[in-house]
Amino acid sequence: MSDAIASITFSHVLLPLATPISDAKVLTGRQKPMTEVSFLFAEITTRDGHTGIGFSYSKRAGGYAQYAHACEIAPAIIGEDPSDIDKLWQKLVWAGASVGRGGVSTQAIAAVDIGLWDLKAKRAGLPLAKLIGAHRDSVQCYNTSGGFLHTPIDEVLKNATHSLESGIAGIKIKVGQPDMRIDLERVAAVRAHIGDQVPLMVDANQQWDRASALRFGRAMEKYELVWIEEPLDAHDAEGHAALAAQLDTPIATGEMLSSVAEHMKLIEHRSADIIQPDAPRIGGITQFLKLATMASQAGLQLAPHFAMEIHLHLAAAYPTEPWVEHFDWLAPLFNESLETRDGRMIVPDRPGLGITLTEQARKWTIAHQTFNA
């Protein structure tokens, strides 16, 4: 007989950030500084004793809703064969069908889906990348966490130096200030500091209109950026397409979308040169792999957003050379760390995702619930 899911434990964990984080959404008054990140962890155990762990997350709002939705739909797959991951994804969707197939719904499902993939890879004794089918054992990486808008420029430069010395290849900084001249000055300072050969990206977090984005993009051409990220509203597929057609600098977007269907609009409109899906936001690894196939067929580059512990494995399985985003925020949650060397992040040889929760993560848990067969 096949194995069966014996239990799923959900934990709602609040990770405090050492410094309140501000990007363009804060400076334009749309959001408040971020002081914590909310995580939904799903720990799965089977009748035969196999285990898997997955997670989703939310910034500023939505974490409580993710946890509540996960607890409502989880009983639908207790007793099911954990190998049938796509089937289980569909069961979870239909268990909560009245709230749709995006947003909180898919983000709650993602934690379970990722946990099932972790379990499957562990049972096979393989890193997740190898289970899927890796194209490479390391992925070029860039740092984001050192270049937020709340950080003074002299500190941004120090952070860039530290990142490069620690084996990270590229530097991304935030832009989108109400006064674009400040953005231009910061980009110029970073480019001068790191030199012309180091990959440099900028991220506007959706804060420009079409005219402002075009004006900024033209001013950036001389800096030979790897990409301009989220220059427009995430759902403005036509605007991104027009911008991509008018600029030499590649356009990257997609992190804020919460379904494969939303990403398909980007692909159909040729809205981006680099697509940036986030597995915990679009429903997990099952959905990410479907999207990655379509993105590859469309000739797009891949640069998954955040959650490097998951996305390193998925990027390693993409046919053409991708990027993975280095964030140090999540380090307190996991006993293991990822290695960067010579500009690349190394795929760990541990089975599955290769992560286990720290005791500190357990202490930051504000709610947990277990569902048994």
Q: Which CATH number characterizes residue 224's domain?
A: 3.20.20.120
Residue with tokens 């760390």: 337
The answer to the question of residue 311 being in a domain is yes
Catalytic residue flag (residue 305)? yes
Query: Are both 194 and 319 inside the same structural domain?
Result: yes
How many domains would you assign to the chain?
Answer: 2
Q: For the ranges 30-34, 110-114, 357-361, which has the lowest average pLDDT? A: 30-34
Output the pLDDT for position 101.
84
Dist CA 336 CA 69 (whole Å): 29
Report yes or no on 142 lying in a domain.
Answer: yes
Q: Any known ligand binding at 101? A: no
Condensed to tens digits (0 to 9), the pLDDT of residues 114-125 reads 999 999 999 999
pLDDT tens-digit map of 320-364: 999 999 998 999 999 999 999 999 999 999 999 999 999 999 999
Tokens at 147, concatenated? 């270049």
Q: Tell me: do 22 and 137 sit in the same domain.
A: no
Do 339 and 368 have their domain in common? no
Query: DSSP code of 301?
Result: E
Tell me, what's the pLDDT at 70?
97
59 marked as part of a ligand binding site: yes
Which residue is catalytic, options 12, 120, 174, 326?
A: 174
Considering the domain boundaries, does residue 352 fall inside one? no
Same domain, 262 and 293: yes
142 and 113 within one domain: no
Residue 255 is labelled as binding a ligand: yes
Structural domain boundaries, residue 44: 5-125+358-372
Confidence of residue 1 (pLDDT cuts 50, 70, 90): low
Confidence of residue 279 (pLDDT cuts 50, 70, 90): very high
Determine whether the annotation assigns residue 229 to a binding site.
Answer: yes
Report in angstroms the alpha-carbon separations of 87 from 5, 90, 123, 175, 289: 14, 5, 19, 42, 15
Asked whether residue 205 is marked as a ligand-binding residue, the answer is: yes
pLDDT attached to residue 19: 86
Same domain, 176 and 317: yes
Whether 353 maps to a domain, the answer reads no
Tell me, yes or no, whether 75 lies in a domain: yes
Q: How far apart are CA 280 and CA 306, in angstroms?
A: 9
Cα dist from 281 to 35, 39, 361, whole Å: 20, 12, 21
Q: Which helix (DSSP H) or strand (DSSP E) does residue 280 occupy? A: helix 279-282
- Confirm whether 221 is domain-assigned: yes
Average pLDDT over residues 131-135: 97
Active site residue 174: yes
Query: Considering only 30-39, 138-147, 178-187, 297-306, which range has the smallest mean pLDDT?
Result: 30-39
Which one is predicted more confidently, 138 or 35? Answer: 138
11 neighbors 85 (Cβ within 8 angstroms)? no
Nearest residue to 111 (alpha-carbon basis) of 239, 250, 279: 279
Burial status of residue 49 (CB atoms within 10 A of its CB: 0-12, 13-18, 19 or more): exposed
Same-domain pairing of 120 and 133: no
Tell me if 202 sits within 8 A of 228, measured CB to CB. yes
Is 172 labelled as part of a ligand binding site? yes
Kindly state whether residues 31 and 160 are assigned to the same domain: no
Q: What is the mean pLDDT of the chain?
A: 95
The one catalytic residue among 240, 263, 305, 313? 305
Identify whether residues 12 and 144 lie together within a single domain. no
At 147-199, the pLDDT tens digits run: 888 899 999 999 999 999 999 999 999 999 889 999 999 999 999 999 999 99
Question: Using an 8 Å Cβ cutoff, are 65 and 46 in contact?
Answer: no
259 phi and psi angles, rounded to 5 deg? -160, 160
DSSP bridge pairs for 155: none
How large a percentage of the chain has pLDDT more than 90? Answer: 88
How far apart CA 175 and CA 276 sit, in angstroms, is 18
Q: Name residues whose C-beta falls within 8 Å of residue 50's C-beta, 6 or more positions apart in sequence.
A: 3, 82, 119, 122, 123
Regarding whether 222 and 329 lie in a shared domain, the answer is yes
Whether 63 is in a domain gets the answer yes
Global confidence as pTM: 0.95
- Both 51 and 120 in a single domain? yes
State the CATH number of the domain containing residue 366: 3.30.390.10
81 annotated as a binding-site residue: no
Answer whether residue 180 is part of any domain: yes
Q: Residue 117: what pLDDT? A: 98
**Average pLDDT for residues 217-241, to the nearest whole number?**
96
Residues 98 and 217 in one domain: no
